[in-house]
Amino acid sequence: MTTTTYTKERTGLLLVDPYNDFLSHGGKIFPMLEPIAKEVNLLDNLRTAVGSAREKGIQVFYVPHRRWQPGDYDNWKHPNPTQRLIQQRHSFAKGTWGGEWHPDFVPQQGDIIIQEHWAQSGFANTDLDFQLKQQGITHVVVVGLLANTCIESTARFAMELGYHVTLVRDATSAFTKEMMHAAHELNGPTFAHEILTTAELVAALPA
């Protein structure tokens, strides 16, 4: 339950990294998060969150990770461990099925696609803050993947920039229960203004 008022003019839904590699059978990363995804009913909850946002006139922002291309990170001085793994497995490779949107989360007319982020925050080195401000957004709801990396980093950055931040605990996933626990029970409460379920979010959105 929440007492926060989410108005359609001021609220934005940030859909982070809805790629086949993350969300589809056959994706490079999906097998690692599938047990948790099934446990929280991830795909249905993402469909509900995104569909409800569109139905209620809330702006949807796609916040995509960099689609790997040959040469990425090769000459970097300090690639992080996740970037090293992307370099090895070619996660979300541009021009491949894995780097395409999951078929249930293809952008629709009116959605805003943000510049691809290189690391974990959807704000760092992208136009996300600019686009949110241009739309008059003050409240962001962050859903997608992964709970303890890109979701947490993007949501933390949003808080630092002065946005009201909502996490949705069953519209995300991670590789382990411990990671999910850290994201929503340990770390999330230090920066998020609300941590809701999908059902609680939908009930709180404007009629």
3-state helix, strand, coil in the chain (%, to 5): 40, 20, 40
**pLDDT at residue 138 in the model:** 98
Cβ neighbours around 75 below 10 Å, total: 7
Predicted confidence (pLDDT) at residue 198 exceeds the cutoff of 80 = yes
Cα→Cα distances 15→11, 46, 104, 112, 201, Å: 13, 9, 12, 10, 14
- Across the range 24-28, mean pLDDT stands at 98
Nearest Cα residue to 117 out of 188, 175, 61: 61
Condensed to tens digits (0 to 9), the pLDDT of residues 64-104 reads 999 999 999 999 999 999 999 999 999 999 999 999 999 99
Q: What percent of the chain has pLDDT over 70?
A: 100
**pLDDT at residue 189 in the model:** 98
Question: Is there a cis peptide before residue 146, judged by omega within 30 degrees of 0?
Answer: yes
Condensed to tens digits (0 to 9), the pLDDT of residues 127-136 reads 999 999 999 9
* Residue located via tokens 């959105």: 205
Nearest Cα residue to 18 out of 121, 128, 99: 99
Sheet holding 11-16, edge to edge: 112-113, 59-63, 11-16, 139-145, 164-173, 194-196
In whole angstroms, give the CA distance from residue 186 to residue 132: 27
Condensed to tens digits (0 to 9), the pLDDT of residues 162-183 reads 999 999 999 999 999 999 999 9
Three-class secondary structure of residue 45 per DSSP:
helix
Predicted confidence (pLDDT) at residue 23 exceeds the cutoff of 80 = yes
Q: What percent of the chain has pLDDT over 90?
A: 98
In whole angstroms, give the CA distance from residue 41 to residue 49: 12
Predicted confidence (pLDDT) at residue 1 exceeds the cutoff of 80 = no
Token pair in block for residue 164: 């009201």
Domains, the chain, with CATH or none: 11-204 (3.40.50.850)
